[in-house]
């Protein structure tokens, strides 16, 4: 199986990979330069793009999501998803139904700090941080859509962040061990206001060391931990001696 991308496929992939942001532009150039060489394990609409002669990997875990969007029609919708490269191949999924008229479309690729959620148009919890080189990152949490992503100002990419592993790091950052809390990742969305900005950033830094979403060479500057009462008491007492 080998064919070129159709006009419709190219249009949808170009849309979720906008050329005005460096990181998306690089992926766009890669994807649009490849042919469809195989069907993926998730069935119709799961396309594997790769150079001719590539030995396709059907066995490795699917790579993490790089870009996504949804086109809503009068009778359903079409979802578009691009995964991070796996060697020379890129998995994309274009699934759903098409209608005669498009109602609206949204993509996470369009978001920038201070914007509303691109999916529901509601407010997001936004936590900003800087790297050692002064570059901005912004962690965004949409409670309504239960979605988490991080904006990288260097590449302009909004990287979706899987919740479960991130929440585990958040529980370590907050030193939470109670099973009913520590194992309930949905609390990231149902109890968002209970988490401090510095703990959310600290958890992302730890998560990023495991599953890098932004460059690990330019470390995130983290705030110092607030002192507990006894730490404050002893440090104050020590200064008086």
Contacts 24+ apart (CB under 8 A), 94-102: 94/9, 94/12, 94/13, 94/45, 94/47, 95/44, 95/45, 95/46, 96/45, 96/70, 97/73, 98/73, 99/73, 99/74, 99/75, 100/73, 100/74, 100/75, 101/73, 101/74, 102/71, 102/72, 102/73, 102/74
Dist CA 159 CA 16 (whole Å)? 12
Nearest-angstrom CA–CA distance, 96 and 70:
9
Tens of pLDDT, residues 12-71:
999 999 999 999 999 999 999 999 999 999 999 999 999 999 999 999 999 999 999 999
Higher pLDDT, 59 or 241: 59
Q: At residue 80, does pLDDT exceed 90? A: yes
Angstrom distance (rounded) from CA 235 to CA 34: 61
Question: CA-to-CA distance for 152 and 161, rounded, in angstroms?
Answer: 12
- Residue 235: band (very low, low, confident or very high) from pLDDT cuts 50, 70, 90: very low
Helix (H) or strand (E) holding 76: strand 76-83
Q: Which of 38, 49, 45, 28 is nearest to 98 (CA)?
A: 45
CA–CA dist 133, 219 (Å, integer): 8
pLDDT: which is higher, 1 or 149: 149
Residue 35 is inside which H or E element, if any? strand 35-39
Contact 156, 27 (CB under 8 A): no
- pLDDT tens for 211-227 read 889 887 888 898 765 55
Q: Is the pLDDT of residue 160 over 50?
A: yes
Distance of CA 116 to the CA centre of its chain: 16
pLDDT band at 193 (very low <50, low <70, confident <90, very high): very high
Output the pLDDT for position 238.
Answer: 44
What pLDDT is stored for residue 225 in this prediction? 58
Q: Which residue has the tokens 């070129």?
A: 4
Query: Comparing 142-146, 181-185, 226-230, which segment has the lowest mean pLDDT?
Result: 226-230
- The pLDDT of residue 1: 72
Residue 239 clears pLDDT 80, i.e. is over it: no
pLDDT classification of 102: cutoffs 50, 70, 90? very high
Contact (CB, 8 A) for 149 and 158: yes
Can you tell me the mean pLDDT for 67-77? 93
Q: What tokens does 234 get?
A: 């002893």
Lookup: tokens for 229: 């009462």
Q: pLDDT higher for 2 or 15? A: 15
- Cβ neighbours, 10 Å, residue 156: 16
Name the nearest CA neighbour of 66 among 140, 133, 158.
Answer: 158
Tell me what the mean pLDDT of segment 150-174 comes to: 96
Model pLDDT, residue 222: 86
This prediction has a pTM of: 0.88
**pLDDT single digits (tens) 110-159:** 999 999 999 999 999 999 999 999 999 999 999 999 999 999 999 999 99
CB 150 within 8 A of CB 135: no
């Amino acid at each position: 199986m080998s064919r070129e991308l159709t006009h419709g496929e190219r249009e949808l992939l170009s849309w979720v990979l906008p050329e005005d942001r460096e990181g998306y532009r690089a992926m766009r150039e890669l994807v649009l330069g490849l042919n469809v060489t195989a069907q993926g394990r998730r069935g119709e609409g799961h396309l594997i793009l790769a150079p001719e002669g590539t030995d396709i990997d059907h066995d490795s875990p699917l790579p993490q999501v790089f870009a996504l969007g949804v086109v809503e029609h009068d009778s359903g919708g079409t979802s578009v998803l691009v995964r991070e490269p796996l060697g020379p191949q890129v998995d994309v999924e274009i699934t759903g139904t098409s209608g005669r008229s498009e109602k609206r479309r949204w993509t996470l690729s369009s978001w920038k700090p201070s914007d509303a959620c691109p999916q529901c148009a509601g407010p997001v919890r936004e936590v900003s941080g800087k790297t050692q080189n002064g570059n901005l990152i912004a962690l965004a949490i949409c409670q309504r859509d239960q979605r988490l992503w991080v904006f990288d100002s260097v590449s302009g990419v909004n990287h979706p962040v899987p919740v479960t592993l991130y929440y585990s790091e958040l529980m370590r950052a907050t030193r939470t061990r109670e099973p009913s809390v520590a194992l309930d990742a949905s609390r990231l969305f149902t109890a968002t206001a209970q988490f401090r900005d510095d703990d959310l950033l600290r958890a992302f830094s730890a998560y990023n060391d495991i599953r890098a979403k932004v460059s690990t060479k330019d470390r995130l500057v983290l705030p110092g931990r607030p002192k507990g009462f006894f730490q404050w008491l002893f440090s104050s007492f020590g200064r008086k001696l």
